[in-house]
Structure 1
Amino acid sequence: MTPKILIACDLAESFRDRLKKAGFSLAVVPGRDALADSLKGVQGLFIGARFRFTRELLEQADCLEAISFCGAGVGTYVDEETATRNGIAVMNAPGVNADAVAEYALGFLLALQKFLIAENNAIKTGSPLRAMNFSVRGMIIGILGMGHVGRRIAEILFHGFRTPVLYHSRSRKPQAEEALAARYVSFDTLLSASDALFLCLPETDETHGMIGAGELARMKKNALLINPARPGLVDGHALFQALRDGVIRAAAFDGYYLSHPYPPTPAEDAFGLLSLADDRFLCTPHVASRNRKVWDDLFEQATANLLEFFATGDCAHIVNPGFRDHRRRKTG
């Protein structure tokens, strides 16, 4: 039987052609309201960040064997527990966008240290300029999560700014410690010692809201919180209060607390963060990886994952190996 693949993202035509030439038949999701019906009878699902595939949706995917995501943090868009229970392999493209996200996160650091947005606005409106900005070199930089993105941030800081980092992660990274002079510290030490703290870990049940009022209170008064990952890592109410009251100096997020496409209306800003001045809170709509080369690389890896899975029944980038205990049939 020819596997049928449902495309639920803006997959470039060249990658669709590769799948067709490999013997797959393709269908495209016409819209959010048609998701449930579109999932019936398909063996593969090719997704980006447009839709979230919940338990209710996956339970209706009667033939689905594999989901390939064009990115790393697939857990935000797929209910992995339901996929595993239903024998559906979930695959991602880890590390492909690490350079782009690291560059973007460091752009936030420079913008906040140099007051780039505020100074731009000042000169265009005739407002007073700031007297001083701050250097990056000499800062104590903390990284929470030393995966692909965290490691790349550490590399750029070490080689470009001669600034080693402190880090906390689920496991120690001896190679980073040796090559980049990175120093492993406890979570509490990371909070209290960092002049700028980068959040570089996925949002899970365990990490959701892990930066709350107590954690913010332990940070330095002049500290920066830079979050190129998911906004849900941080308690939005606590962050607003911390920024409003000067508990920390500023924060920058690539992504906001929304369940729908941008932009939000003022009434939808439940936390009030978007009302803060630019030198207090910077926010962009989760676009660090919006880069043609990165997208092509992500499409390439996600396509390769599907081809490998349906040829062999396995793939190196499966994030839920427990699916094998429930799989519906052997593929390939």
Structure 2
Amino acid sequence: MKKRIVAYKPLPDDVMAWLREHAEVVEVDAARHDAFVAALKEADGAIGASVKITPAMLEGATKLKVLSTISVGFDNFDVADLTRRGIVLANTPDVLTESTADTVFALILASARRVVELADFVKAGQWQRSIGAEHYGVDVQGKTLGIVGLGRIGGAVARRAALGFNMRVLYTNRSPNEHAEKTFGARRVQLAELLAQSDFVCLQVPLTKETHHLIGAAELKAMKKSAILINASRGQTVDEAALIDALKAGTIHGAGLDVFEREPVAADSPLLSMNNVVALPHIGSATHETRHAMARCAAENLVAALDGSLASNIVNREVLKP
């Protein structure tokens, strides 16, 4: 008898067809909360993304053994609760590394060279003469990049910075990244030193209790006035109110943001009216190729976990212990 899977996010046709070969698939719109919760109660597994799954939603879902998220981040789940229930949580950490690193570097370049602001300047018909110093940007090549969290994506950003733009790379991490140090000349430092020396401060950390508002007023004040903050990790790693104040006051030069404390960001957010802010709609991995690969990876994770053969991409590996 086939296992029952709830798909709460639209999947590519070929991925859905592949899943149907291995399981009975029930498609549910997660926005219909009651129907979604009811479907989980009858499911062996579920696949999706961008929806917060609370412990209350899982009460009575006694058959549920696997949740497979189409993302690398897993802050939409109470991992400890899933482990207590014996539910495996799988994610997709590898397939989005390069496309997300591309987005990070796009933010660095766009923020430094004022790409969005000046593109709008041209489109508005304001380019009437050669531009002057009031429209100049700042160099990226040869500058210092500080990466907070040198994991997969941070390492890919460091490679682009060191090999492509001759940048000096500083980083903070729970443990040394020997590959980055040997290959890209990255140097591990304390956060205070990274903030004080970096021309660009790039956040590449997951959202945890420890990283919530990791960057606040004190950290922003510790940065160079000429520095640019880049965040393509999770919005709540930055105290957004403090960032707005710092940008208004000129405490830092600018920001490139793919994530916000609340998403979608409010249309009246002061961040959206600032010329020194580049704001993107959380597109880190949003390419046709990468999103397809993520969906396929999540589907394979789910099927393998249901038959007990999944060996990688497990967030709460302790759930497998006897």
In the other structure, the counterpart of 1:122 is 121
Question: Shift of residue 150 of structure 1?
Answer: 0.3
Distance across 2 between alignment mates of 1:302 and 1:149: 19
Match of 1:330 in 2: none
Selected match of 2:314 from 318, 321, 330: 318
Asked whether 1:274 is paired with 2:305, we answer: no
Structure 1 residues 184-213: Cα deviation after superposition (integer angstroms, max 9, x where no partner): 111111111100011011111110001011
- Quote the Cα distance in structure 2 between the aligned partners of 1:110 and 1:196: 10
Structure 1 pair 21–225 and aligned structure 2 pair: CA distance change class (3 A): same
Give the match for residue 182 of structure 1: 186
CA distance in 2, matches of 1:153, 1:185: 17
In the other structure, the counterpart of 1:234 is 238
- Aligned positions, number: 315
Report deviation, 1:313. 5.1
Alignment CA distance shift 1:174-1:30 (3 Å) = closer
Taking the aligned partners of 1:178 and 1:313, their CA distance within structure 2 comes to 35
Task: State how 1:6-21 maps to structure 2 within 5 Å.
Answer: 6-21=6-21
- Show the counterpart of 2:46: 45
* In 2, Cα distance between equivalents of 1:211 and 1:299: 32
Displacement of 1:230: 0.8
Residues 92-241 of structure 1 correspond to what in structure 2 (within 5 A)? 92-125=91-124, 126=126, 129-131=131-133, 132-241=136-245
Does 2:298 correspond to 1:299? no
Deviations 1:266-322 (A, max 9, x none): 2xx4xx3223x22x2221111121111001110121122122212225431111123
- What is the Cα deviation at residue 164 of structure 1? 3.2
Query: What is the DSSP-based 3-state SS (H/G/I as helix, E as strand, rest coil) of the residue aligned with 2:307?
Result: helix
SS class of match (1:198): strand
Structure 1, residues 40-95: CA drift from partner, whole Å, max 9, x if none? 1101111122x211121122422110011111002x22221211111100000112
* SS state at 1:312 partner: coil
Classify the secondary structure of the residue corresponding to 2:318.
helix
Preserved contact between residue 176 and residue 182 of structure 1 (Cα < 8 Å): yes
Question: Which runs of 5 or more structure 1 residues have no equivalent in the other structure?
Answer: 327-332
1:317–1:196 Cα change, 3 Å: same
The percentage of aligned residue pairs carrying the same residue is: 30
**Distance in structure 1 (CA, Å) of the matches to 2:67 and 2:123:** 48
Give 1:274's aligned amino acid: L
Distance in 1 (alpha carbons) for counterparts of 2:193 and 2:60: 47
Q: Write the deviation string for residues 200-237 of structure 1: whole angstroms up to 9, x where unpaired.
A: 11111110001011111100011000001111000011
Shift of 1:121: 2.5
* Counterpart Cα distance in 2 of 1:305 and 1:118: 42
Seen in structure 2, the aligned counterparts of structure 1 residues 239 and 263 have a Cα distance that, compared at 3 Å, is: closer
1:248 corresponds to: 252
Quickly say closer, same or farther: Cα 1:164–1:95, change in 2 above 3 A: farther
Instruction: Letter of the 1:10 partner, please give it.
Output: P
SS of match in other structure, 2:175: coil
Q: What is residue 72 of structure 1 aligned with on the other side?
A: 72
In 2, the alpha carbon distance for the partners of 1:31 and 1:175 equals 41
The code of the aligned residue for 1:9 comes to K
Contact 1:87 1:325 in 2 (8 A): no
Is the CA contact (8 Å cut-off) linking 2:196 and 2:223 kept in structure 1?
Answer: yes
Contact 1:137 1:163 in 2 (8 A): yes
Q: State the distance in 2 between where 1:211 and 1:176 align.
A: 24
- C-alpha deviations, 1:225-255, integer Å up to 9, x for none? 0001111000011101100000001011112
Report the CA distance between 1:123 and its aligned residue.
Answer: 2.7
TM-score normalised by length of structure 1: 0.90
C-alpha spacing 1:232/1:263, structure 2 compared with 1 (3 Å): closer
State the Cα RMSD in Å. 1.7
1:309 aligns with 2:305: yes
